[in-house]
Every structure is written in structure tokens, then in C-alpha cells.
Structure 1
Amino acid sequence: MDGVVELPMKAGTNMKFAGKTVLIFVLLSITMVVTLAGSNILSMTVGDSSVLTCLIKGQISMITWTITPKAGDPCTLVYRIDTNMTHRGNCSDNINLTFRAGQDPALEIQQVGIAQEGIYLCEAASTDGNFRKMYNLTVLAPPRLSLRCDEQGSPVCEAAAGKPPAQLSWVPESSSTAEEKHHDNGTVTVVSKFTACSTNVTNVTTCMVSHPAGNWSQSIACRSSEKNSFFLHVGIITCVLIIITLLAAICYFKLHSDRPCHKTKPPEIAPIHSQQDDTMEVEPYTTYVQKENVIYNSVSDLTVGQNLPQDLCPET
């Protein structure tokens, strides 16, 4: 009996909770719609220029632009007709009021950057009343595409510094998941490594980048890790065979050489002779030659004396 009573009570509690949740969701949706009802969503790409206008009826007396960026301090530009002067407060140099003949002052943004992203509110006072217009500016940053082969021979695609994050896909299809790296300026780098879904995959792979600022693609051909390892093994085996062949040749020539190998002795240093020693060695030879010459002369004189005629012989 107690169990029958508790079931309707729990169901009623769940219904009340669900009703409160739906009510909160509806209120948040209405608040968002009211906030964005008077604003124009504007999208620009980094480096582009644009002119924001504020529709005004009657004779304008003052116009104020208030810029609330997503990051940083707000900026204000105030123009008064009576003084014909513009007051700038904390605004960058690429944001200015422009004045054209026959047109109300407009806000010009030159070469927009990510720092200019935010809410732009125009408030004007004229003879017909006060007017208000709001822009919600979104700045797009196209990513920088790069495609390379890693150490394992797998293609790696990178879409750097994109805003919002780029979407990466592969041709042929890949089963890999992309990794995101968020930067302080609001941009995101997306990296994806190709992983084949099947074994029948060609060497050429294509990375495709999808982004609100545009679409890009790039192809590359990488050698697979299996091929790289095969060539590496072949190279190692070849080097080993060359070394073994050289060692075998050296041993063969050593065993069959006619001249045995001897250790090389250091060269002997010749003794140093002085000039006096050389003179002493030469003097005995000189004396001997002189004696030989004396003997030879004596013998020659005797021989000549014996062979001469008597009338020519010298007197004793």
C-alpha cells in the first residue's frame, strides 16, 4: 500500500522539476533573442576593412560609438556637431569616424584584427529623437596550412592559428582524430596525423581544410615506415658485408705475403762529427799520398838517369 502511494508522489516531483527546467530555458532563450534583436551580426576576415553606419532621422546633434571588445578595455568615439570635434577614448588607430558629403558620420575599421572583435554600439541624438544601433562583430582568422612527413613516414597536417578552429579531413579516409592547441589570442591550431583505414592505400595523401574564411587542400607522398625499415636493414647488412670482406682480404694478404711483417724500428741517429775529427781523419791519407809521390819521383829520376846517353849524363 505504501509503495502505491510513493510512486505518484515521485512522479509529481519529477514533473515539477522538469517544468522549472523548461521555464528557465525559455527565459534564457527570450533574453538572448531580445539582446540580439537590435544587433546586426557582422563577420570579417583578418586584414579586411569595413564601414559601419548608424541610421539617423532628422538633424543630428551628437553621435557616440562605444566599442566593447571581447578582450581589453572599451573604446569610445564622440562627435558633436556644434563644436565639429571628435573625442577619442582608448581607441586603436585603425578605427576612425568618416565624414562623407550628404551622409551621416560612419565608423570605419581598416585592416581589422582579432583585437577588434566585440560589440559596436551607435547612439545618436537628433531633432527627431534618439537612435540606437548595435553590431556584433566576429573576426575570422584563416589558418596556415602545412603538410609534412614524420619520422615514421606518416603524413601530418597542421592548420595553425585559425579562428574558429579549422576542420581537417583526409583523402583517402583516415581514422585519426585531430588535436587542438588553444592560443592566448583566441586562435586555435589543429593537428591531425594520417592513419589509414585499410591496407590498400596509395602513397599520395591529401589533407583538406574547411574553414569559414575559405577551404584549402594540399597533397604529399610519404614513404611508409615498413619501406624505411627495409632500406635501413639493407643498408646495415651491406655495410657489415663490406667490413667482413675487407677484414678477410687483409688477413689473406698477411698470411700469404713473402715478407714477414716486422715492427718498424725507430731510425738511428747518426753521430755528429766535428770539423776537427774530419781533418784528423783526412791528414793520414794526405801524408800517405805525399810519401807515395816522393817515392814515385825518386824512382822516375833514377830511371831517366839510366836511360840517357853517356854524353848527356850529368857530371858527377
Structure 2
Amino acid sequence: MRKHVVFTIFFLLLLSGCGQDIPLAEEVVHQFEAEPLLTGQISDDGRLLLTVTTSEQVKIWRAASKQVEYQVPESELLKPVRHALLSNDNSLLLIANYDTLGVWSVSGKAFIHKVQFNGVDSMAAISHIALSPNNGRVLVAMTDGSLNMADLNTRLNNRFKPHARPIDFLLFGNQGELFLSGAQDGKVGLWQFGSPKPLFEKEFAHRVTSLSVDHGFSRLFVSDGLNAQHIKTLTRGDEVTKLNYSARFKVFRKSLFIPSTQLLATSSSKSHLSLWNTQTGDELGTWTISTQRSGATIISMHATQTGKLYTLNSDAMLQRWDLNALTL
């Protein structure tokens, strides 16, 4: 009898984080491509979508009309397309292959220029890219842990090696002066553009699988593989809270602080979306996203001031979630 009671309690605890009892209205807005995506992005204002298919078609869509705003001509693409990024103001598109970064004008629908980047190791390839809010500065990370800090106007480039393993995350501050890096060596660092001296560094036991900052660039969320997930202050890395959940293992990928709330959204390597209380670290629920293929995952998220969360998955499905019932 005692074993049966213990098992029942344990089972109920597992169910408590599944999100089945918490209302969360959702709907599929549209599937923008028939084939899977290599990568994709919802623009900062939610008006545009960037999609890169497995056949390396690069398109920018108008989210409302579901029409193509611009498709990069096949002859201009830097193949193989490994990274693509839409600027904060939707004016520029950046595409990178193994060692070259190209820049396109979205409004002008034209190629502007391309620049080659190297790591400290001659065999290093580009692992991640980021563009400052004013479009003047670019960060080009490499698989050897080195990082290029380039000025797009002057073409000046400073390179240093802040990590020992590939850099997977780069996040600019609102002014384009500070940026955050996270890598497979388990290190997270805050840097000033142009300087190799960290403002702070934190090292975790495993590789960083998720890294995001809030809209005020004052807090960060970091996931250390399967070990721990933290919300920390961004200036010093002090602990705010640690996420709590009943599952033995939980993988974290994409993450997003929801503006004007105490909510954090995270995705897993599977087809799951989770929501968290950023003050307590408690899990509010986990939901399964709509997919067409087994193993499809969330590749981009965007939240509005009206309590709507949009997710774009690797099946090119845009899904809308109503968070108003969960606003804290």
C-alpha cells in the first residue's frame, strides 16, 4: 500500500508540469514552406519572417499577407548557407557560409558586399553571427572559439579568442556597445565591443545550450546542458533564480523573456514549448507544438505587448499562443 501511495504522488507531480490543466489558446497561423527549414527568424517587430530551406532557398515573407517580400537570387547565395540573420529594423539581411559573410538590402532587394573572416585556427569555420541594433557592427564567431568584432562602415576588424570551443550564442545590448557570448566550453561572457577584456565571465560544467537576455539587457537566461538553468543579472552575473521542474532530464534550446510580464518561454530539442515564472523559477506548463514531421523543433520566437507569443518551427509553421491567462 505504501509503495502504491508513493507512486501515485510521484505520478501526480509529473503531471503537474505538463500544462494540460492550464488554458493556453493556440492556433497555426500558416505553413510558409513545404520543405523543412535549416534556420529561420521572426523579425523584431513580428512583421517579417526569414526562412532558409534545406534546398537553400532564402526568403523573407510578410507575415500578415503570407507573401514573399524578397528572395535572394540563387546566383548571389554564399553556399552552403549556414547562417542567416535579419537586422532589427528589417533593412538588412546577412548570410554566411563557412568563411564569408554577405550583406543584402531588403528594401532595395540587392546585394551590397561580402567580407571574409578567419579564426585563430586556419581551419575554423563561422559558427554564429550577430548584428548591432544600429547595423554598424557585426560579430562573427568561429568554431575554434575565436571572435571577430568588425565595423561595417570602416571595415576594421578586431579578433580575439574568448572561448575554447565553438561559440553558439551572441547577443548585442540595446546600444551596440556591450554583447554577450556563450559557447560549447560552458562559458558565458559579457564584453565591450572592441575590447578582449571581459566585464564578467561565468563558467558552467557543461556546454551552453540556451542563452537569452531580457528587453532591458539587465537579465540573462542560461542553460548548462542538462545540469542547471539560471536567470542572472547581466552586469555581474548574480543569481536571480534557478528553474524548478519535476522531470529528471529537460533539454533547453530557444528561450525568450516575455515583455511586460514575469514569464520566460523555452523550447526543447523535441516539439515542446514551456513557460516559467521568472521570479520563482516555477514551471507553469509544457505544451506540444503543431508539427508536420517527427522531431520538428522551435527555431524562433516573438512576443507582443498584447500577450501573444509566436513560434516558428523547423516545419516552417508559424503558431500563435495567447498568454493572457498566464500573465503574472
Structure exhibiting the larger radius of gyration computed from Cα positions: 1
Structure with more relative contact order (C-alpha pairs < 8 Å, separation 6 or more): 2
> Normalised by the size of structure 1, how large is the TM-score?
0.19
> Comparing both structures, which one devotes a greater share of its residues to helix?
1
